[in-house]
Structure formats: structure tokens, C-alpha cells
Structure 1
Amino acid sequence: MTDDEFAELKRVIQERETEVAARIVTLLSLAEAGFDTAEAEAALWQEIDALTVLRGYQATIIEMKDE
């Protein structure tokens, strides 16, 4: 992976982290207001799982670069 590709991966991860954090805040607000957020929470967990995979991939690349 080139340095530019790695930088792009890092940028994508940061964007996803920001999006997930914003969705968490929104869901908490909606849940507090009494709305049913079950479906949105399930979708959020899928996004969190995808973000976890991206972070794992990033960590693997960092390990490979360090070798």
C-alpha cells in the first residue's frame, strides 16, 4: 500500500468515526425523547462493526510497515 493509499484509508476511518459519533448522539437524543430507535441502533452496530474491520486492516498495515 502506498503512502497516499494509507493516508486515504486513515481519512476514511476518521470520517466514519465522526459519522458514527454523530449518529450515537442523535440516537441517544431520540431514545431520550421516547422514540423507538431499535432499527437505527441495529444499523449503527453494523456500521461500528465495519469500522472495527477497517481499524483492524489499518493496524495490520502498520504492523507490516514496521517489519
Structure 2
Amino acid sequence: KKIGTELLSLAESDIAKHKGRLITVSTSSQEKYGSTRSFYLKRGYHEGCRIKDYYRRGDDLVVYVKQISED
């Protein structure tokens, strides 16, 4: 595994161990962050919300969510 995948897996495990239900991560909608968005999508995250023009006009805040517990 690559380091990013390993770190995310460790964080998810720790959050689950402490009874966390959801994980959220956020990034920019700019094209240069496309690989970041793909990284989270490939690991079971979905786009939870988007705040238009958050950083600047044309650059949205994109929030990804992953549910790790039903509780």
C-alpha cells in the first residue's frame, strides 16, 4: 500500500475504535486536486456537500463523507 492509503486506513480504524460514526474530509474543486478527490472516492467516500465559490469564484469547497459505523 502507498503511504496515503495506509495513513487513511489507520485514521479510520482509530476513529472506529473510539466509536466515531462518520469521517469528513474537504478539498478544493480545482482541477489540480482531481487526484485528491479520486483518492477519497476510491476508498469509499462520497461527496457529501459542496459550497460554491468557497475559496474564490470558481473554486468550491468539496466535502467527502464516509460512514464507518451504523450507531
Q: What is the TM-score normalised by the length of structure 1?
A: 0.31
Which of the pair has more CA radius of gyration?
Answer: 1
Which structure: greater helix fraction? 1
Which structure: greater strand fraction? 2
**Structure with more relative contact order (C-alpha pairs < 8 Å, separation 6 or more):** 1
Q: What is the TM-score normalised by the length of structure 2?
A: 0.30
